Amino acid sequence: MTDPQATPGAVAAVAGAARLLSRRAGSEVELSEPEDLGGSGSSVVARARMAQNPFSDRRSVVIKQYQGDPGASDPFRYEVASCQLFTALPSDVRPSPVIIAHDPEQRLLVLEDLGRSMTLADKLFGPDRDAARTCLLGWARGLGRMQAATAGREGDFGALLRRLGEKIRRDPIADQARAALAELPELLAGTLGVEVGPMAVLEARGGVRLLGGTGFRAFSPSDTCPDNNLVTSRGVRFVDFEWGCFRDVVLDAAYVRVPFPSCPASFALPQAVADQMLDAWRAEVAPVWPELDDPELLESRLVDAQLLWVWWSTWLLLPRVLDRDGPIGADAGRSPRISTALRHYWTGLGAVAARSHRPATADLAAAVVGALDARFPDAPSALPVFPAFRGAER
């Protein structure tokens, strides 16, 4: 039976998965009722019911099939290697669905079905403040647990990639972050009339250094935006690992300080909730990296990471806002205005820079905020919190 709402791509992916599972089982495996789960421009994601499978009691599976030219670095192979790395972990620390099968020729994965789960973004845009807070803390604990479980496994990840015929790559934002460090001063001067002094550039280099071989490396999905996390009965689970890599754990933890830099859903978090998230994350990673339990050392690294994310986000978003000051993402109802988000990023950075003795960054932040206010006088000056928390602030 075919769901009339299923797209041709979803139907084809499910048919390919049935052939793959049948070859593996040595007997016919029948998948039915294909359901399109969306995916991205480069992939199709579908759910299917296991109508006939004599070798498993699974009721359904999720299929992901990559489309188009894989290019020099194939995201399919990174997704497979990431899921294989996680599948080998104990179930209580596994941050992702189990991989059941994969086919390089079809560029197709068959994954455990985590159920009809909402995303973290769904919770943040919902009406329940307590549920949103609980899910955010679950996200922070899940992130820390994933990092702690993958510490020291960079070689294993590289070996899995080599078995798939892929070379390990460095953090996919590394080149962009270095480009931002080199190009943002000219961009700010030319578009907003803000001069970036050499001391501000020097202070920003601390963030870029986190992209090197630090002693706090673990797996990162590279994209931990709220819509890439599922809220399941077993806690928050991460999905989409096509940009998976190993990097400094503080880079992902600092996502809550910006928050969620350049993600379509990049609204503000209540400060108390952001602090609780960092505490929950730190409790998970401190047994592996006791140094990160030192508040002074951790804060210094978090500020460096926040600097990197704000420079990188501004480098990405400022050219867009000059063309049209619209929402970051395609859905205007679930995405803030770019100029307002940038103002929030720099306001927050300025506050922590002043506290952490980075005076050039604090001065630069004030100048950028002032220039944004002058350039976009009709834009809201304050970034709203996520809708789930708005009732509490009225």
E strand or H helix at 326: none
Residue 267 near residue 337, CB atoms below 8 Å: no
Residue 220 near residue 251, CB atoms below 8 Å: yes
Q: What is the pLDDT of residue 56?
A: 67
230 Cβ partners below 8 Å, 6+ apart?
A: 114, 117, 118, 119, 120, 236, 237, 239
User: Among 277, 312, 239, 194, which residue's Cα sits nearest to residue 86?
Assistant: 239
357, with CB counted inside 10 A (0-12, 13-18, 19+), is exposed
What's the CATH architecture for 118-393?
Alpha-Beta Complex (3.90)
Question: Token pair for residue 297?
Answer: 């050392």
Ordered per-residue pLDDT tens for the chain, 394 residues: 445 467 888 999 999 999 999 998 888 888 988 999 876 668 899 999 988 766 667 789 999 999 887 777 788 999 999 999 999 998 888 888 999 999 999 999 999 998 888 999 999 999 999 999 999 999 999 999 999 999 999 999 999 999 999 988 778 888 899 999 999 999 999 999 999 999 999 999 999 889 988 899 999 998 888 988 899 888 889 988 988 999 999 999 999 999 998 799 999 999 999 999 999 999 999 999 999 999 999 999 999 999 999 999 999 999 999 888 999 998 888 999 999 999 999 999 999 999 999 999 999 999 999 999 999 999 888 999 999 999 744 3
- The Cα–Cα gap between 22 and 220 comes to 33
Rounded to 5 degrees, what angle do the CA atoms 307, 79, 86 make?
A: 90
Q: What is the pLDDT of residue 1?
A: 46
User: Among 389, 351, 185, 357, which residue's Cα sits nearest to residue 268?
Assistant: 389
Cα dihedral: 90, 95, 100, 104 (round 10): -120
**Segment 101-127, tens digit of pLDDT:** 999 999 999 999 988 889 999 999 999
User: Among 258, 247, 236, 13, which residue's Cα sits nearest to residue 111?
Assistant: 13
Please tell me the CATH superfamily of domain 8-112, with its number: Phosphorylase Kinase; domain 1 (3.30.200.20)
- Domain ranges in the chain are 8-112, 118-393
Neighbouring CB atoms inside 10 A of 301's CB total: 25
CA-to-CA separations, 350 to 192, 201, 298, 314, 364, in angstroms, rounded: 17, 14, 18, 14, 8
- What are 44's strand-pairing partners? 65
121 Cβ partners below 8 Å, 6+ apart?
A: 225, 226, 227, 265, 334
- The Cα–Cα gap between 281 and 59 comes to 34
Q: What pTM, to 2 d.p., does this model score? A: 0.92
**Segment 301-316, tens digit of pLDDT:** 999 999 999 999 999 9
E strand or H helix at 205: helix 198-209
Neighbouring CB atoms inside 10 A of 78's CB total: 24
Q: What is the pLDDT of residue 54?
A: 62
DSSP state of 383: P
